[in-house]
Structure 1
Amino acid sequence: MYIGITSPVVTGHPATLAEWERDAGIVELARVAETADSLGFHHLTCSEHVAVPTDVAAERGGVYWDPLATFGYLAARTSRIRFNTRVLVLGYHHPLEIAKRYGTLDTVSGGRLVLGLGVGSLEEEFDLLGAPFADRGARADEALTALRACMSTPTPEFHGVYYDFDDVYVRPHAIQPRVPFWIGGRTARSLRRATTLGDGWLPFGLTLEQTETMLQRAELPQGFEVVLSPSRSLDPLGSRDLTLRALDRRRQAGATIVSTAVSATGVEHYCDQLHALRDLAPEIGAAFDAQPLSDIDESATRT
């Protein structure tokens, strides 16, 4: 099992935003990224919302950093850690747009992109962006197939109901031969979508027991990632045993990767917590620095 970091600062959700994050910015975020990178954590995250209606922001928060710009900067400050969009809403983008923009990110980061992708649920945001909402599930399924067809090639071709393209050139594109797609969701359909069209599942809004039940009923492909998050931020310095139990409980539930936030009073405390988490995690079998990046054709970096 690997451990990634749910990035601080980039998401201003009222239920999880720490006081120190309110005045923090790119300097503090880069400090966290560099520390997590040096310690061998698996990934950092960044969510996507384009424009959150004011009344919805009171519940979900209104601060959401753009993942492409954020990860582009952090790629230059790190060398190993992966970048996980958590999640891109498929209905907001044409597959070729994702392939070009995030394929470029994969190139400049040396093949460290993990695309977290989802159907989306905020109808008001769909309306603001002029994106169809009613058939978003069917559109998302086709978008995933189209995205797989165009993510890692300069001459993609796809013919479907919603998306149709050929005789086009997309360069640069992703240098990973197969960019991992982790599919977000909280339904059995989202898990089926993940097992048939993706490489991993990012459940949210479920109890651990509900997640376990759904996983037990599913047939997971070999190498499929199950990415689970603790219900609250971990405090390895202050609550060692609780931290170990939270990690081990998710491993027992089927997690191949845990993505977690840590509690902190400031950026230095946050980095100290990362060091403590790194020291504790091997006790429950968590691995660091052990998962190689995908084999990449060196010539692809010149495309």
Structure 2
Amino acid sequence: MHIGVTSPVVIDHPASRTEWERHAGIDELARVAETADRLGYHHVTCSEHVAVPTRIAAERGGVYWDPLATFGYLAARTRRIRLNTRVLVLGYHHPLEIAKRYGTLDAVSGGRLILGLGVGSLAEEFALLDAPFADRGARADEALLALRGGLSTPYPEFHGTFYDYADVEVRPHAVQPRVPFWIGGRTTRSLRRAVTLGDGWLPFGLTVQQIDEMLRKADLPAGFEVVLDSGRPLDPLGDRDATLRVLERRCAVGATVVSATFVSTDADHYCDQLAALHEFAGEAGVTFESASPETPSGIDESSR
């Protein structure tokens, strides 16, 4: 099981953001990412909302850093850690737009992109962006097919109901032969979509028991990633045993990756928490990246 970092600073959610994050910026975020990168954490995250209506922002938060701009900066400040959109809303983008923008990110980062992708649920935001909402599931499925066939080639072609294109050139494009797709959701349908069209599942809004029950009924392919969050901020410095219990519980239900948040009072404390967990997380079956290669395994250095 690997462990990644649900990035601080980039989201202002009323239920989870700490006081220091409200006054932090790119320097503090980069310090956390650099520390996680040096220690061998698996990934950092960045979510997507374009324009949250103010009445909804009171519940969901109104601050969401743009993942493409954020990861472009962090890619230059790190060497190995993966860059995970968590999640990119498929209905807000044409597949070719994702292929060009995030394919470029994969290229400049040396093949470190993980596309966390979702159908989306905020109808008001769809309306603001003039994006179809009612058939967003079918559109998302087709977009996934289009991306799978065209993200890593300069000459993508696709013919479907919602998207149809050929005789186009998209350069630069993703350098990974198969960019991992982690599909977000909280329903059996989202898990089915992840199994058939993706490489991993990012459940949210579910208990560990609910996730366990859903996974027991699913036929997961080899290499499929089950990516669970930590459920609550981890405190490796203050409560080692509770931290281990959280990780062990997720490992027991089949998590292959945990994306964690941490108790922290400032960026330095956050980095100290990362270092503390690195010291003992192996007891819960957590594996950190090797410090020797500077790119993730399976990435051809010549493609950078």
Instruction: State the TM-score, normalized to the length of structure 2.
Output: 0.97
Q: Is the 8 A contact 1:111 1:294 kept in 2?
A: no
Name the SS for the 1:238 alignment partner: coil
The equivalent residue for 1:41 is 41
The equivalent residue for 1:236 is 236
Supply the distance in 2 between the matched residues of 1:11 and 1:288 (Cα, whole angstroms).
25
User: 1:299 and 1:166, CA in 2 relative to 1: closer, same or farther beyond 3 A?
Assistant: farther
The equivalent residue for 1:15 is 15
Name the SS for the 2:11 alignment partner: coil
The equivalent residue for 1:195 is 195
The equivalent residue for 1:295 is 298
The equivalent residue for 1:248 is 248
Matches within 5 A, 1:1-303: 1-290=1-290, 293-297=296-300, 300-301=303-304
1:169-220 deviations in whole A, cap 9, x for unaligned? 0000000000000000000000000000000000000011100000000000
Name the SS for the 2:12 alignment partner: coil
Question: May I ask how many residue pairs the two structures share in their alignment?
Answer: 301
1:139-189 deviations in whole A, cap 9, x for unaligned? 000000001111000001110000001100000000000000000000000
Identity of aligned residues (%): 74
Supply the distance in 2 between the matched residues of 1:295 and 1:224 (Cα, whole angstroms).
16
Name the SS for the 2:63 alignment partner: coil
1:10-58 deviations in whole A, cap 9, x for unaligned? 0100000001000000000000000000000000000000000000000
Q: Is the 8 A contact 1:40 1:288 kept in 2?
A: yes
1:208-235 deviations in whole A, cap 9, x for unaligned? 1100000000000000000001211000
Name the SS for the 1:172 alignment partner: coil
Supply the distance in 2 between the matched residues of 1:298 and 1:275 (Cα, whole angstroms).
28
Q: Is the 8 A contact 1:31 1:267 kept in 2?
A: yes
User: 1:187 and 1:112, CA in 2 relative to 1: closer, same or farther beyond 3 A?
Assistant: same
Give 5+ residue unaligned stretches, structure 2: none
Q: Is the 8 A contact 2:110 2:301 kept in 1?
A: no
Instruction: State the TM-score, normalized to the length of structure 1.
Output: 0.98
Supply the distance in 2 between the matched residues of 1:173 and 1:179 (Cα, whole angstroms).
11
1:241-261 deviations in whole A, cap 9, x for unaligned? 000000000000110000000
Q: Which amino acid aligns with 1:154?
A: P
1:114 deviates by 0.2
Supply the distance in 1 between the matched residues of 2:53 and 2:289 (Cα, whole angstroms).
41
